Amino acid sequence: MTSILTNNAAMAALQTLRTLDANMQDTQARVSSGLRVGGASDNAAYWSIATTMRSDNMALSSVQDALGLGAAKIDTAYSAMESAIEVVKEMKAKVVAATEEGVDKNKIQEEIDQLQEQLASISESASFSGQNWIAGGVDTSDNAAGNPQEVTVVSGFIRDSNGNVSVSTTAYSLDATTVGGMTVLFGGDATGAIDPDSGILGSVSTTYDAVVDWNNNGVLGETAAEIDTFSIANLDITGLTTAGMQEALALVEYGLQQMTSAAAALGSISMRIGMQEDFVAGLTDSIDSGIGRLVDADMNEESTRLKALQTQQQLAIQSLSIANTSSESILTLFRQ
């Protein structure tokens, strides 16, 4: 039946055109954004996962920055500790040289004095971003043995299976009091300033035998010495030069061993942070890839679909035009 009030063919063609237009809009949105899931309305589950993982990746980016800052602090401390070790090696050589009979110990002591001042200079200068991990910087003066001050470096961001999040840290002990386990050249006082009477260089490291008068005051006895202040020129060891030099050598060797141990600890934590940096970088890339698999559009597929929809749209427009012209044929009946 032909009707001038209802054109079923035109309505069918119009409905098809509307559907094609809607599909065209969706496809064009995917092509322009590059996303198959651009909002929760596209796929609520995938959009939720992608949004959460993007926020985690932003947190990991901050972890990378924190790792870089921590690595810089540790590298600064390690470099300073290495320099200090070289200075103490030189002091050790000077003490050995002073054992030779006839050597002017005062002249050698002048060189040792300069080396001691260099140790102080290295200790004071080893600061990065206001923190010094080998001398002062934090309060270590009142820490009991076995309970040293700790500094931390952010090393990771964790999300467990229950959705709980946390930040992991790597700790390093700034020990200025534990005999045989100190990790700093000098400790820090309550204000964070260098405490010259603590740490590997500033604390009492060895006690001289009763035959050695360290202060050259004519009174023999148990006299303690520190690496940053000892003086071989003041040894009153008439006839006992070998014994006195052995004591001085033992003092320097003790400090050298402690400094080597501390440098090894810094090197180990530096290696761990380097590995963590590589892991975090790889993890970030993996998360990015996983998000892409969930929400990214296949551009080859979308471009092909867009071309097909454009063709279908043109055909639908032609179909609608034909359906509309069919009603015009009725007018010929009224012209006759």
Question: What's the sign of the alpha-carbon dihedral 41, 43, 48, 51?
Answer: negative
* Per-residue pLDDT, 208: 47
Q: Which two tokens stand for residue 187?
A: 């400790």
* Per-residue pLDDT, 335: 66
* More reliable by pLDDT, 53 or 320: 53
pLDDT tens digits, one per residue of 117-126: 999 999 999 9
Q: Classify residue 283 as exposed, middle or buried by CB count within 10 Å of its CB (0-12, 13-18, 19+).
A: middle
pLDDT tens digits, one per residue of 181-235: 888 999 888 777 888 888 888 876 655 444 444 445 444 444 567 888 887 766 6
The whole-angstrom separation of Cα 219 and Cα 206 is 18
* Per-residue pLDDT, 115: 94
The whole-angstrom separation of Cα 14 and Cα 1 is 20
**Which CATH number applies to 44-295: 3.40.50.300, 2.40.50.140, 1.10.3720.10, 1.20.1330.10?**
1.20.1330.10
Segment holding 113, helix H or strand E: helix 105-125
The whole-angstrom separation of Cα 101 and Cα 103 is 6
pLDDT at 336 over 80: no
